Chain A
Amino acid sequence: MSKPLLEINNLRIRFTRDGKILTPVRSVSLRVSDGERVAIVGESGCGKSLTAMSITRLSPTDMAMVDGEILWRGQPLLGISQRELQKIRGRQISYVFQDPTASLNPVMRVYRQVTETMQGVDKAEKIRHTADILAKVGLPDPMRAALAYPCELSGGQQQRVMMSMALAANPELLVADEPTTALDVTTQKQVLDLMDRLADERGMALLLITHNLGLVAGRMERVYVMYAGEIVESGPVSEVLTSPRHPYTRGLLAAVPLLDAPPDRPLQDIPGTVPSPDAWPEGCVFAPRCPYADDHCRQCHPELRCGNNRECRCHKEIF
């Protein structure tokens, strides 16, 4: 196997709050190869966003206790100086977040934000440069958009501005954290198609953080399923989504309303709720909600077992 672009081993992220230690991320190991499309799926609070943030020590993970290993092209990122990290953050690894409105400065025209890092360049040149890169992300009338304030653009347009900023430095990895959750489905499709196309053209790797299994199914190659701070299952999308091995993955798939299911297909919910990060259960984290759990599951924390490109953290793994 070729050397991975990004490798995370046994990542653990802890915070202290009110004298208590919270461990929102307990154990995450993952790999992204050159040009690969990888997704992390999970529900709110599973630690997927923190995992993504911790790669380049973005807030709030800069305030956390982070253990484990994060390797970028073999170079460890944990423990290197901010100065060193700066060379990677935004240049080799870029981010796009969920809410473009919150990510853009509302009182700054678009061209000034896009060219904030350019120095010694006059205004006309900045506007021209912005219009150029906005045109590449398919914004109609890029000149107008460059001069606009964020509020004058629609959500989809704002997200394209964010993407143009993220891609300006030709990163090798784009981390997209729920990039289209705030957008309408038709806009969502346009933005994702754009992201796909740009990744293809540049051979850029994608790490998509999402709760939406539909996006994973249609666009990604490999998937990591996260639950309560751990990877519970991983593998090629085509295998994980068609023959899930972990009961949580199965549960998620059975809970999704489908467009072509028989009309009387009951939706299966997963009983109970996600445990809180200051009190993970002792044994398997999913055991309290799992239909197959027995005493062994409740007492003994399962390890991630690997085989044939797939991993699963389950004692039962009956599937």
Chain B
Amino acid sequence: MKLLQADHVSVTYRIPGRAPLKAVNGVSFELQPGDSLGIVGESGCGKSTLARAIMGLQPLSGGTLSYQGRNIADFNRQEAKEYRRKIQMIFQDAVGSLNPRMTVRQTLEETLRVHRMVKPDQIGHRIDELLDYVGLPGKVLGSYPREMSGGQCQRVSFARCLALTPQIILADEPVSALDVSVQARILNLIKELQRKLGVTIVLISHDLAVVRTICEKVSVMYAGEFVESGNTLQVLDHPRHDYTKHLLEAVPDVGRALRANGI
């Protein structure tokens, strides 16, 4: 069964005194368990609005989003809560998305407790397991977000999201605030989680090379619409839409730049 299906999803913002703004306009896609979809586009193309819609945080103005065959707009309270657990989000600002007054242990504990993920006496064990998944040493448990690097905080975000055994991880620019060497580590982590846990990944990014590294499928978004979708290698190596070509040409890629200069 399809895990998540978007069928002509539209989101329109209505601002008094202005023309309605179609932030997302008739977007369709489907995700099977274990899929990895990259959504690329520039600022203002509607990719974050789409993310909010997928999370159920933004009412649709048209189309439907179905989770395991059921329209998420029809969920009752219990189902909605369950859906919010099954789909987890990772944000760009890793430090900012953690509570500054909670240690790593408190952050993870709270998550496990609120959603009653494990029996209270199992919490410690589960936390160790989660740290292990994201490759953090046990000594970070007593640290506050400000005492850790951006890369470490992003790993804590991943641990927190894995605590809820999600089926889908929606990552909105998870590495764009990180240095290259740390970025590589987080990207490798995402790949590994995908392989080990079979979790479905939706990666929102402006960085085509990052998407190419992680995602099997890609959709290119422009002005609220998907202008080109397909297998990542196919789309990025043989783009058909002019916007995709334009975007690819603008990327300052090391390998390509060296070759273009005859080096």
Binding site for B on A (CB under 8 A): 43-44, 184-189, 192, 211-215, 217-219, 238, 241-242, 251-261, 263, 266-270, 273
Contacts and interface: CB of A to CB of B under 8 A. Distances in A.
5 contacts: A185-B251, A185-B252, A218-B252, A267-B188, A269-B181
List the 9 shortest-distance A-B pairs measured between CB atoms, nearest first. Answer: A214-B252, A218-B257, A217-B257, A269-B185, A257-B209, A255-B184, A270-B181, A267-B184, A43-B179
Interface in B110-161: 149, 151
Contact of A263 (B181, B208, B212, B258): B212
B250 interface: yes
Contacts of B43: 184
Contacts of A266: 188
Contact of A184 (B206, B212, B249, B252): B206
B207 interface: yes
Contact of B209 (A188, A242, A259, A273): A259
A264 B34 CA distance: 17
Contacts, number: 113
Nearest to B180: A255
B255 to A, nearest CB: 5
A251 B261 CA distance: 23
B260 interface: yes
Given A43-B181, A238-B258, A215 B212 contact: no
Contact of A258 (B149, B181, B254): B254
A269 B182 contact: yes
B252 A258 contact: no
A113 B252 CA distance: 32
Contact of A242 (B181, B185, B258): B258
A241 B248 CA distance: 21
A259 B181 contact: no
Contacts of A185: 42, 206, 247, 250-252
A267 B212 CA distance: 12
Nearest to A262: B233
